[in-house]
Amino acid sequence: MTNLNTLPRRELGVEFGDLAGKIEGYSYPVTTEEFVADFGEAVLELPNGTESVREILESAANETYESPREAQHALFTMVGSRAIGRKYYSDRTPPALGEERNDRPLSF
């Protein structure tokens, strides 16, 4: 028996859920157009909302994906700004005006 869930269900802030297994079990190679026809209505959960596969890939060029990882990478590449948690955040910058931080600065 093969494990169809080798693609992570959640990666880089994008929740694929059951779609990860479906992408893994799909027959490759596949074009963007074919992929959207079969998975376009699937919804990915993002830190700041959701997007469907159709919305994510609608402006993508029609490419051919040779593997599940390539298809997933296309989704990561094209996902909108809602996949970004806190924009412009870095734990290495000083606190913003009015922001209090309880961590202690480290010196290296």
Cβ atoms of residues 63 and 74 within 8 Å: yes
Cβ atoms of residues 78 and 56 within 8 Å: yes
- What residues does each domain of the chain span? 10-81
Share of residues in the chain with pLDDT > 90 (%): 31
Beta partners for residue 49, in sequence order: 46
pLDDT value at residue 3: 46
pLDDT value at residue 1: 38
Q: Tokens in use for 39?
A: 């998975």
pTM: 0.66
Q: Is residue 32 over pLDDT 60?
A: yes
